[in-house]
A and B are shown apart, each in its own frame.
Chain A
Amino acid sequence: MESSKVIHAFYTDDEILLDAVKTVKAKHHHIEEVFCPFPVHGLDKAMGLAPTRLAITAFFYGITGLCFAIWMTNYMMIQDWPQDIGGKPSFSWLENMPAFVPIMFELTVFFAAHLMVITFYMRSRIWPFKEAENPDPRTTDDHFLMEIPVHNNVDELTALLQKTGAVEINIVDKH
């Protein structure tokens, strides 16, 4: 089947890869995926990927943690059993608020950090025993790989990629 074919173009340098991505994008070819051994600055911009919204989720997780801490301290220390502990004013939450700030701070950070990490795992589909999706083991070491779907234009694409400095070009059937 023609539509399930992809081209794998290998590069050995991140600068060359970056230029190649720009060239391929300029010719209006869709880049399915780029595999790198390390983060390449500006690759997301060159590929035209939308910015991440992970920071925004973290902000709301933090607010959640803060609310949880306020609710918890208020329920436990003020509502449920307002004991006099060493003369601390447990008449209202606000009066005893300074004592709760360390908890509020830590829970805000805790919620923001952990829930954001979990969100990252879920969105990136990473979990233990997950089968690796690496098309070529060299891309975790010293090779960069650009994957482009083929639509009856193998020769044109190959010629283009050869010009961009690819060290190896494979046409692969994707199952």
Chain B
Amino acid sequence: MYQFSGKLKTFSLALILLGALGITYGFFTAPKTVEEAKDIIAQQVDSHGNGHEVLHEDAKKIEHATENHDANKAHVSADAHGKHHDAAHDEHVFHQLQNKPWSAVYVALFFFLGISLVVLAFYASQRVAQSAWSVVLFRVMEAITANLVPTSIFMLLFIVASIMHMNHIFPWMAEGTFTPGHENYDAIIDGKSWWMNIPDWTIRGVVYLLIWNAYRWFIRRNSIKEDTANDANKTYKLNYNVSVGFIFLFMLTESMMSWDWIMGLDPHWFSTLFGWYVLSGFLVSALTAIAFVTIYLRSKGFLPAVNDSHIHDLAKFMFGFSIFWTYLWFAQFMLIWYANIPEETTYFAMRFEEYKLPFIGMLGMNFVFPILLLLNSDFKSIPWFVVIGGVVILLGHYVDVFVMVMPATVGAHWSFGITEFSALLFFLGVFIFTVFSAFAKANPIPVGNPFLKESEHFHYYNIEHRGEGSGDHH
């Protein structure tokens, strides 16, 4: 039985505390009025000098271009247009600056929620596939899904905060978007109001979270039941059937969740493979998270049945899904770039102009680095290699979520500062705390699983196992 070490517990609580402090600081320093927002921008321009100003002017141009295009507002006189536009611009910048701490929390929240959720989906897939290799990792995966509970609660709070207009994260929630004649009226969004309206959006969000948490609660309870069931695999078969159902529901809710919670940030933009794209990013991150927790627990001696071949398989999944992510990223980007239809291209134009470093950098982190590092079969079974690859992959996919969310919510005013870092620390702390306390609550080996023996003897022929008895394998 694993014992959540006091050191790790203190560490995770320190992360939570530090993160909470940083997040509070972020909300405290966000502007309260349009004037404050103007001051902040003026200060930035002063301190950054000319180069930034030019950049900022560029940013303004893009913003204006998208605004004009987006809002489809007909302005009668050029004079009125100018005045109205300045005021509208100030208001816009003010909302973006106000969004900064919200977005910082949202990016980190969505990142950890997605990882926990997809670990759950991967776990369900392993049950459905009756795969034997991963059985000794079942309790690790179950423990990671424990993080789904707190992240779901935070997501629920975020949903409530958004519908109460405490933030401007979802532009379609603004006052008057659906009211013809209102200055915020947006005919394009109004055309989508059958899907994008606050009651439906809220209900859908709650339903997703309920479905995911219900399955997690059920499968965790019944997986532990399996250990002592001794009922000719009846419990095992029930778990199998429920997992089949969950995978079906997961695929539906995951797509819809990515429309509601990410694509809804840019209500004028749409992409058909977006749900898959979001899924692929979290698949890599989920496998990396499993590998990390496994490697850590194995190094502490709590997973004696896990051998180098299990690590090798996890790394293979990390490698394969990294390429899968790149494939979907590129498929989405290239189709839009090639056809260059303005209503779709603004999405990437904005990201390429304002987020060049993270936008291109994440391709290096999520594709080039893992492909070169994890291509070699020997490297894939060396824990510290997998850890190095995994750190870059996880950071890369954080950047991916960052580039999905930030351009829509804070536009050109993005930065990676105290608030963003604190939000990451906060949810990392929550992750460590929930995952390891959940792992301490059950037998680390699922002794009732009919595939356990096979999993314990799992051996990939091509690699040499270091420091473990592999003489009896052939």
Query: Interface residues, chain A, CB within 8 Å of chain B?
Result: 18, 41-42, 45-46, 55, 59, 87, 98-99, 101
Closest to B336 in A: A98
B217, CB-defined interface residue at 8 Å: no
Contact B474 A87, beta carbon cutoff 8 Å: no
Contacts of B54-105 to chain A: CB distance below 8 A: none
CA distance A59 to B473 in the complex (A): 29
A-side contacts of B474, CB under 8 Å:
18, 41-42, 45-46
Contact B330 A101, beta carbon cutoff 8 Å: yes
B-side contacts of A55, CB under 8 Å:
377
Contact A101 B461, beta carbon cutoff 8 Å: no
Contact A41 B333, beta carbon cutoff 8 Å: no
Interface centre among A18, A42, A55, A98 (most CB of B within 10 A): A98
B-side contacts of A59, CB under 8 Å:
375
Residue from A41, A46, A87, A101 within 8 A of B334 (CB atoms):
A101
B-side contacts of A87, CB under 8 Å:
340
| Contacts A42-B461, A42-B474, A45-B474; A98 near B333 (Cβ below 8 A) | yes
Closest to A56 in B: B376
Contact B338 A98, beta carbon cutoff 8 Å: yes
| Contacts A59-B375, A98-B333, A101-B330; A41 near B461 (Cβ below 8 A) | yes
Residue from B338, B461, B473 within 8 A of A99 (CB atoms):
B338
A-side contacts of B377, CB under 8 Å:
55
B-side contacts of A42, CB under 8 Å:
461, 473-474
CA distance A41 to B377 in the complex (A): 18
**Min CB distance, B182 to chain A, in Å?**
38
Q: Mark B459-474, 1 if CB is under 8 A from A, else 0.
A: 0010000000000011
B337, CB-defined interface residue at 8 Å: yes
**Min CB distance, B358 to chain A, in Å?**
19
**How many residues from B make CB contacts under 8 Å with A?**
11
CA distance A16 to B330 in the complex (A): 51
Closest to B375 in A: A59
A-side contacts of B340, CB under 8 Å:
87
Contact B375 A98, beta carbon cutoff 8 Å: no
CA distance A18 to B461 in the complex (A): 15
Contact B334 A98, beta carbon cutoff 8 Å: yes
Closest to B333 in A: A98
**CB-defined A-B contacts under 8 Å, sample of 7:** A42-B474, A45-B461, A46-B474, A98-B337, A98-B338, A99-B338, A101-B330
Closest 4 CB pairs of A and B: A42-B474, A98-B334, A98-B337, A41-B461
A-side contacts of B330, CB under 8 Å:
98, 101
B-side contacts of A41, CB under 8 Å:
461, 474
CA distance A87 to B338 in the complex (A): 10
A-side contacts of B337, CB under 8 Å:
98
**Min CB distance, A65 to chain B, in Å?**
15
Contacts of B10-61 to chain A: CB distance below 8 A: none
CA distance A42 to B459 in the complex (A): 11
CA distance A41 to B333 in the complex (A): 44
CA distance A99 to B340 in the complex (A): 12
A-side contacts of B338, CB under 8 Å:
98-99
Q: Mark B322-340, 1 if CB is under 8 A from A, else 0.
A: 0000000010011001101
Q: Mark B421-447, 1 if CB is under 8 A from A, else 0.
A: 000000000000000000000000000
CA distance A83 to B338 in the complex (A): 16
CA distance A41 to B462 in the complex (A): 10
Closest to B378 in A: A51
CA distance A87 to B341 in the complex (A): 12
Closest to A42 in B: B474
Closest to B334 in A: A98
CA distance A23 to B330 in the complex (A): 54
Given contacts A45-B474, A98-B330, 14 further A-B contacts (CB under 8 A): A41-B461, A41-B474, A42-B461, A42-B474, A46-B474, A55-B377, A59-B375, A87-B340, A98-B334, A98-B337, A98-B338, A99-B334, A99-B338, A101-B334
Closest to B377 in A: A55
Closest to B462 in A: A51
**Min CB distance, A24 to chain B, in Å?**
15
CA distance A41 to B459 in the complex (A): 12
A-side contacts of B333, CB under 8 Å:
98
B-side contacts of A46, CB under 8 Å:
474
CA distance A41 to B461 in the complex (A): 8
B-side contacts of A18, CB under 8 Å:
474
CA distance A45 to B461 in the complex (A): 9
**Min CB distance, A34 to chain B, in Å?**
14
**Min CB distance, A105 to chain B, in Å?**
9
A-side contacts of B473, CB under 8 Å:
42
**Min CB distance, B336 to chain A, in Å?**
10
CA distance A64 to B377 in the complex (A): 21
CA distance A18 to B473 in the complex (A): 12
A-side contacts of B375, CB under 8 Å:
59
**Min CB distance, B394 to chain A, in Å?**
26
